[in-house]
């Protein structure tokens, strides 16, 4: 059980660290500690007493389940874990399904605990039907993915829609280099990019909701929401590095300047935040100017670019990378609040360029040993 827990549960929480940090911030960080209990009781009472709100919460929990399911399926498809097929198929059926249930429950545990507390509040406040629905829904979210895991285990060559779509795309579209990793995301990690963008949209919606509630439409508040979106997108960077290590080493031998390679990496993160810029434009309702909206986008793109080039340092594993991300975000946050935004943007852009031009050509994958 220990090895399976490290392969699935441990890697799931590590790879989704940015997502959990953003979620923790909005559940616990934006509320004063003395009001935290009342905040969550009010939130639970809200979706227990409103069917539309409850459906929205259940939909978000379903998306989280799909995130887990996609992670497990993708793990089974990776060549370093091909031994799982021969190992797990030798297990007794009942034992193997019990293992899947335990692994699914461990990854779903944060939602399960919160839902159980919400159900308890519902029973205490006589919302019996919503409480029963929450309990049954959470049990179902721990059970139904097992069927897909079993199907993938016994039929490893099953092709999904994205595979067929990628084959059609290869025949009809020649991709420029800036779109290489986009193609990888939408064909190999469609659930991850979809859920990342969905949660990013939720962060921006909550940011504008809080600003409208206080009637305080300030650029600094918008920048804080953008930082939350950036932290959420950092979970894609490990995949970006792995993609470049496996598929793009040939570009080092092409007659392409380092400046063009830098433009390619920067262009990817510019395109990555276009949906957020569009959401901000429509949510602002002309309360922010185009210049202010573009300022928020430039801040987010620059932070993402700096976070990405940090991975060109040797021995920059996920844990060390996360520490640098939190440190830089903390410094930028205070510079924004202090009115020194453009100093922060210029500094990050300069540091990112210096690191890239110094490390890009000499970067080599580093394999961590025990």
Instruction: Provide the number of structural domains found in the chain.
Output: 2
Considering the domain architecture, whether residues 203 and 253 belong to the same structural domain is answered as yes
**134 shares its domain with 181:** no
More confident: 1 or 360? 360
pLDDT over 50 (residue 370) = no
* Distance from C-alpha of 370 to C-alpha of 363, rounded to nearest angstrom: 22
CA distances from 213 to 209, 242, 252, 276 (A): 6, 42, 51, 21
Are 57 and 175 in a shared domain? no
> Do residues 280 and 328 both lie within one domain?
yes
Check if the beta carbon of residue 280 is closer than 8 Å to that of residue 217.
no
Instruction: Indicate if 154 and 165 belong to the same structural domain.
Output: no
Last residue of a domain, one of 158, 191, 217: 158
d(CA 93, CA 98): 8
Summarised one tens digit per residue, pLDDT across range 134-169 is: 999 999 999 998 888 888 777 765 544 455 666 676
The answer to whether position 165 is within a domain reads: yes
pLDDT of residue 345: 92
pTM: 0.61
Among 95, 125, 158, the domain-final residue is 158
Give yes or no: residues 97 and 218 share one domain: no
What is the residue-averaged pLDDT of the chain? 84
Q: Are residues 211 and 350 in the same domain?
A: yes
Final residue belonging to a domain, choices 158, 188, 221: 158
Q: How far apart are CA 11 and CA 266, in angstroms?
A: 28
Residues 152 and 166 in one domain: no
Range of the domain at 258: 161-364
């Amino acid at each position: 059980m220990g090895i399976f827990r490290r392969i699935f549960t441990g890697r799931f929480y590590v790879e989704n660290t940015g997502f959990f940090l953003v979620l923790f911030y909005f559940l616990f960080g934006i509320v004063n500690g003395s009001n935290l209990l009342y905040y969550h009781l009010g939130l639970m009472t809200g979706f227990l007493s409103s069917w539309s709100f409850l459906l929205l919460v259940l939909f978000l929990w379903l998306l989280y389940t799909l995130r887990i399911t996609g992670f497990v399926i993708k793990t089974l498809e990776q060549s370093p874990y091909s031994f799982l097929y021969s190992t797990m198929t030798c297990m007794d059926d009942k034992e193997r399904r019990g293992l899947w249930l335990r692994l699914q429950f461990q990854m779903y545990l944060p939602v399960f605990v919160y839902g159980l507390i919400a159900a308890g509040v519902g029973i205490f406040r006589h919302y019996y039907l919503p409480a029963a629905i929450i309990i049954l829904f959470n049990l179902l979210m721990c059970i139904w993915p097992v069927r897909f895991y079993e199907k993938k285990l016994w039929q490893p060559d099953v092709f999904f829609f994205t595979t067929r779509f990628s084959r059609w795309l290869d025949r009809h579209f020649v991709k420029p280099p800036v779109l290489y990793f986009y193609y990888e995301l939408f064909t190999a990690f469609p659930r991850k990019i979809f859920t990342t963008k969905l949660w990013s949209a939720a962060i921006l919606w909550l940011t504008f909701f809080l600003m409208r509630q206080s009637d305080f439409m300030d650029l600094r508040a918008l920048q804080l929401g953008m930082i939350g979106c950036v932290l959420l997108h950092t979970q894609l960077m490990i995949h970006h590095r792995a993609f470049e290590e496996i598929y793009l080493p040939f570009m080092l031998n092409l007659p392409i300047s380092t400046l063009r390679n830098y433009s390619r990496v920067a262009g990817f993160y510019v395109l990555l935040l276009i949906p957020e810029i569009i959401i901000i434009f429509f949510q602002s309702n002309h309360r922010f100017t185009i210049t202010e909206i573009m300022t928020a986008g430039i801040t987010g793109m620059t932070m993402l670019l700096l976070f990405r080039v940090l991975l060109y340092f040797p021995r920059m594993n996920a844990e060390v990378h996360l520490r640098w991300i939190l440190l830089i975000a903390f410094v930028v946050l205070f510079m924004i609040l202090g009115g020194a935004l453009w100093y922060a943007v210029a500094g990050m852009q300069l540091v990112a360029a210096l690191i890239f031009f110094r490390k890009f050509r000499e970067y080599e994958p580093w394999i961590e040993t025990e």
